[in-house]
Structure 1
Amino acid sequence: MEDQPVISFKQYQKHFLTEQSCNEYLFRMKWPEGFQCSKCRHDDYYVITTRKHPLYECKLCGNQTTLIVGTIFEKTRTDITIWFAAIYLAVQEKSLSTAMIANELEISYQTAWAMMRKIRQALASPKCIANAPKLCEE
């Protein structure tokens, strides 16, 4: 983890301020070579945008997936931009308390606690560190 470059807050804001920019990043991390169906390995897909998170459907077999399946973001109701901000803050300031995260991101303490628990577990996981910068699962 020490070798990972630390980005400034200005750089963070430039890249992750919108749901779309966060989703684009997640897409590149999940499918670095482009979409590939987890069921049949086909690479052509439809995007269904009637939900909060884009849903990707394989054109060949109809298998559906999202960018957050298999990640710490799975089943979240919190905006992905809030998650990215929490991760940024947690990585920048290791001694940041859950109460400070809740206050800074204007979310409830309970939401901040659940998020920080998942973030800390992911950061402590050898699987996460070995696969960095890929998405880390719980």
Structure 2
Amino acid sequence: MATQPAITLAQYQKHFLTEESCFDYLYKTKWPEGYRCSRCQHDDCYTLKTRNHPFYECKNCGNQTSLTVGTIFEKTRTDITVWFAAIYIVGQDNDVTTAAIANELEINYETAWTMVRKIRKALASPECIANAPAL
């Protein structure tokens, strides 16, 4: 299995400090060739701005989706920037404790535990690293 090169803290901060930059990365990960409807494969959509995060509606069939559907972020109420920070921390030190992440990110232990469990499961999947776009 090929591994993604580790990024430095400076690289992380350059690319993932805002919600917009995190969602841009998710967009490139989900649709590397541009938007593609999961139902009809049409390549054009409306971007709905009425939500807290981008929401997409296919111009052909009306199918609606978001960038988080089918990911570890689906149905989360935690900010995407906090998720990306947790991913960075776990990626740097797989032995980091859930309590340390909760303290570092100023979130409750139960939220940190759920996040760490999902992150470690995703990182154990070979597709996770293979499908990640370069920074």
Counterpart CA distance in 1 for 2:58 and 2:97 is 42
Please report how far the alpha carbon of residue 114 of structure 1 lies from its aligned counterpart in structure 2 after TM superposition.
Answer: 0.5
Aligned to 1:77: 77
- Deviation of the 1:28 alpha carbon: 0.4
Match of 2:4 in 1: 4
Corresponding position of 2:105: 105
Q: Give the drift of 1:122.
A: 1.0
Aligned to 2:59: 59
Q: Secondary structure at the match of 2:36?
A: coil
Counterpart of 1:88?
88
Note the residue ranges of structure 2 that are not aligned, 5 or more in a row.
none
- State the alpha-carbon separation in 2 of the partners of residues 121 and 91 from structure 1: 12
Q: Work out whether residues 86 and 116 of structure 2, in 8 Å CA contact, stay in contact via their aligned partners in 1.
A: yes
Shift of 1:49: 1.4
Query: Which stretches of structure 1, 4 residues or longer, exceed 6 Å deviation after superposition?
Result: none
Give the TM-score normalised by structure 1.
0.91
Question: So what's the TM-score if we normalise by structure 2?
Answer: 0.93
Q: CA deviation at 1:46?
A: 0.5
Cα distance in 1 between the residues matched to 2:39 and 2:2 = 35
> Size of the alignment, in residue pairs?
133
User: How far apart are 1:127 and its partner, in Å?
Assistant: 4.1
SS of 2:118 mapped into structure 1: helix
Identity of aligned residues (%): 66
Structure 1 unmatched ranges of 5 or more: none
Q: CA 1:60–1:81 in 2, change beyond 3 Å: closer, same or farther?
A: same
Match of 1:122 in 2: 122
Cα distance, 1:124–1:71 mapped onto 2, change above 3 Å? same
CA RMSD across the alignment: 1.4
Q: Could you give the per-residue CA deviations for residues 5-59 of structure 1, whole angstroms, max 9, x where no partner exists? A: 1110011000000000000000000000000111111111111111122110001
